Amino acid sequence: MVPFLRKIRKSLLGKSSIGRYVLYAIGEILLVVVGILLALQINNWNEDRQRREIERKTLRDLKVEFTENLNDARRVYEGNMGVYRATARLQQNAKAGRYALEETDSLIFYLFDWFDYTPKPGASNNLINAGNLNLIRNEELRYLLTLWSGVEAELDDDEQLSISYSQNTIVPFLAAHYPISNLENYDFTLTHYDFKQTLHASEPLPERQVYDPETLLDDPVFMSHVSTKKMHAVHNAMECQRVVESCEEILELIQKELLEQTKP
C-alpha cells in the first residue's frame, strides 16, 4: 500500500498538479487517521473483552464466596434461634414450677453453647482492596459490596459480646453450681468428625449426676444469666438475618449479571 501511494505522489508532482497533490495529501492524511482510529477501536474492543472476562471470573468467585457466607449465616441464625427457644423454655418452666431433670439438662446445654459466624473473605476483599470495584458494572451490586464489611462487623460485635459473656460468666457459674458433665449427653459435635482412631464408639458417656433443678431454676442469679443469654441470642439472630438478606440480595444480582453475560 505505501509503495503504491508513493508512486501516485511522484506522478502528481511530476505533472506539477498542485491541486491534485493537495487532494491526494488530504486523502492520505484521512487514510492514516482512519487507520489510527480503527486500531484504537480494535484495541478498545480487546481491552473491553478482557475486562468482561475478568468481571465474569470475579462474579463466579463472588458467587462461591457469598454462597458459603449465606450457608454459614443461616446455620448461625438457626443456632441462635435454638438458644432463644431454649432459654424462653427455661423461663417458662421456672415460672410454672416444671423441674424435670432431663429436660432441664437439655435446655441448659443451649445456655452453655454459643454460635460464631465465620465469613469466607476472598473475591470481595480482593476486589475492594485492589481498587477494582469498578470492574463490576452493576451499580446496585457495587453498592452492596461496599456495605458488606459493615454488615459483617455489626454481627461480629454482637457475637463477641455474647461469646465473652458465655465464656467468662455463664460457664464459670455452671461449673460452680451445676454438673456440667451432664451436658455431654447433648453434645453431638463428635458425630461430625471421625474419631475412630482416638475414641472407641462404645465408650460410655459419664453417668448423669443428680442435682436439684428446682434450686437451680429458683436461683435469681441463674435466671438473670438465662435472660441475658436470651437477649444476646435475639440480637445475634437479628444481625444474622441482616447478613442472610444481604447475601441473598448479592447472590441474586450476581446470578442476574452472569445470565446477562451469557446472552448472545
For 134, residues 6+ apart whose C-beta sits below 8 A from its C-beta are 142
pLDDT confidence tier of residue 44, bands split at 50, 70 and 90: low
Helix axes 220-262, 101-112, angle to 10 degrees: 60
SS3 153: helix
C-alpha dist (Å) from residue 82 to 87, 106, 241, 245: 9, 12, 14, 20
What does the pLDDT read at residue 190? Answer: 44
Q: Cβ-count burial of 88 within 10 angstroms (0-12 exposed, 13-18 middle, 19+ buried)?
A: middle
pLDDT, tens digit, 9 for 90 and up, residues 173-226: 999 999 999 988 887 654 433 444 444 455 677 788 999 999 999 999 999 999
Using CA atoms, how far residue 94 sits from 61, 90, 166, in Å, is 50, 6, 21
pLDDT at 156 over 60: yes
Q: What is the pTM of this model?
A: 0.77
**Percent of the chain surpassing pLDDT 70:** 75
Q: Which of 66-80, 87-101, 173-187 has the lowest mean pLDDT?
A: 173-187
- What is the model's pLDDT at position 141? 93
